[in-house]
Structures are given as structure tokens and as C-alpha cells.
Amino acid sequence: MIRFGPAGNCDRFYAEGYKASEQAPAWIAAQGLDAYEYAAGHGVTIREAAARKIGDAANAAGVAVSIHAPYYINCGNPEKAESSVNYLLRSAQAVSWMGGSRVIFHPGSPGDRPRGEALRVALDTIAAARAKLDAEGFHDVFLCPETMGRPSQLGTLDEVLLICQSVERTLPTVDFAHLHAAACGGMQGPADFEAVIRRMLDALDPERAHHFHAHFSRIAYTAKGERCHMTFADAGYGPEFSHLAPVLVRYGLEPTIICESRGTQADDAGTMKRIYREACAQGSPDGRA
């Protein structure tokens, strides 16, 4: 089934008096949501006991947990290959303690290297990470490379799909805000979203394509790409989830969609779920979602 939830803990979670991430799954379920992406972008520092508490709470609440690995991973730099593998391994251990199975990560940056060379290094590094995870017993944990918001970074849609074609037990993380920003506002209507979905369906086996991971928010950008994530209340920014929802319904896809709005990620995830249900009702022959 399709799932919706926040990246990390939103402002309202803390405003209502909650403090610990182990409280997040029950709170998320009370909002009518069923996914949670634990934020470890600045490092995987969580201890086993705390991670298992999150996992127990998520299991009780019916909330699927993923983890965002550290932002400083750079699979495209051979000098950072070993550390990148270790960061992914640490992330896999943490999400496994939480009862989850998806590690979302940024592929990296070419730096001064030719893009093709950096991509080859990234493919080798991610394959090495996959082998390391398997050797450590994390066969059920998926590595999920993310599409990025700046053309200077590794992580175009085609590059992410190539990684997923080349390395076993990987899933694409399609960040629609990043695609929008990298193309300076390229996700303007349903046809643009359908083109992304069809490209993914053509590139991957049905199981992975139908259950891909996704990020969604509105976003600000410059000529160089992503500047910062925005909220659904910020007028004048795209992309619009109402353009994606009917495409998901038409193709019968069941991704996990994580909202990365700044501070309102749970509220905006709820808005996406409502829009999706409306699209289901409009798209079903009997008018029911």
C-alpha cells in the first residue's frame, strides 16, 4: 500500500510537548500517517537501545521506518569510498534495529573529476557497500540512492536508475522537489510527473518500480538548482502534489512518500494523503478510494 509520513520530527511534534523520537511513531499514527524517515543526515549517533525503542513503537503503531544516511557521504570520490561504505553500513545497522529496511543516501559529487569517472566510482562504491551489508547480515536492507537538486551533484534520474540497475537490492528515492529544482522549475504539470514515472517503469523490474521511495515538498531554487525546501503554505513555489497523485493512481503505484517540508512535514504529508485519496476516488469506476 502507499504510505505517507514526515522526514524527522516536525515543529508541531515538539510544540505539543513531545521530545523523544521513540514517541514519534505513535504521534505520526495519530495524525493518520504511516511512515517515518529517521533523520541521521548529520551522523548516525543513535544507540541500539534507543533505536529498538523506536522500532517497537513503530511496529505497534503500524508505521514503516526508513533512515536518511549522513549528508557527507560521497560515493563518487575514491578517497572517501571506504568511509562512505562504513556510513552506509552504520545506517543499515540503525534502521535494522528500528525494524526498517530502507537507507536513503545522496550519491555524492564529482568534484573536479569528469562526471563519467565519478559515476563509475560511485557504482563501485555502492556495490562495495551492498556486499558489506550482505556480509554483515543485512540482506533485507535496501540502499536507496536519491535524485538530487543541483546539476553539479551526482543524482540525476537516469544516474539513480543506472545505480539501481547495476546494484542488487537497491530502490530509487525519487525526490520530486529536487527534480523540479535541478531543472529550474521543470515539474510543471502531470505530463512531467508521468514522464518520470514511465522512465522508472521502463528501467526497473515491476516490484521495485511500484514500491519506490519518494520525497516531496515545495522548493526554492536558483539557476544552480536547489536553494531550500519550503512548505505547502509557501505560495509561488512548486512542485504540486496534485499533479503527481493522479499519475500514481493511474499506474497503480505504491511508493512510500516522505514529506520534507520545513517544519510542517507531518501536516503537509497529511495534505498529500488527502489529495491522493481524492485522486483515487476520481479514478475508480465506483467513485470510491
Q: Which residue has the cell 491522493?
A: 276
Mean pLDDT across the chain, nearest whole number? 96
Q: What DSSP string describes 250-271?
A: HHT---EEEE--TTTHHHHHHH
The strands making up 213-216's β-sheet, listed across from edge to edge, are 3-6, 256-259, 213-216, 173-175
As a dihedral over the C-alpha atoms of residue 36, residue 4, residue 154, residue 132, rounded to 10 degrees, the angle is 50
pLDDT digits (tens, 9 = 90+) for 40-93: 999 999 999 999 999 999 999 999 999 999 999 999 999 999 999 999 999 999
* 3-state class (DSSP) for residue 279: helix
The contacts of residue 15 (CB under 8 Å, 6+ apart) are: none
Q: DSSP letter at 21?
A: G
Q: Is the pLDDT of residue 286 over 60?
A: no
Q: What is the pLDDT of residue 283?
A: 78
By C-alpha distance, which of 14, 3, 4 is closest to 263? 14
Give CA–CA dist 289/48, Å, rounded.
Answer: 40
| 83's grid cell | 568511509
Structural domains of the chain, ranges and CATH numbers in brackets: 3-283 (3.20.20.150)
Identify the band that residue 284 occupies on the pLDDT scale cut at 50, 70 and 90.
low
In Å, how far from its chain's centre is CA 252?
A: 19
Q: What is the pLDDT of residue 247?
A: 97
CB 209 within 8 A of CB 217: no
Q: Is the pLDDT of residue 289 over 60?
A: no
Q: Say whether pTM exceeds 0.75.
A: yes
Q: Is the pLDDT of residue 265 over 70?
A: yes
Q: What is the mean pLDDT of residues 161-170?
A: 98
Give CA–CA dist 6/4, Å, rounded.
Answer: 7
Interior CA angle at 19 toward 15 and 22, to 5°? 130
Beta strands in the chain (DSSP E): 3-6, 35-39, 64-68, 102-105, 142-145, 173-175, 213-216, 219-222, 225-229, 256-259
Q: DSSP letter at 189?
A: S
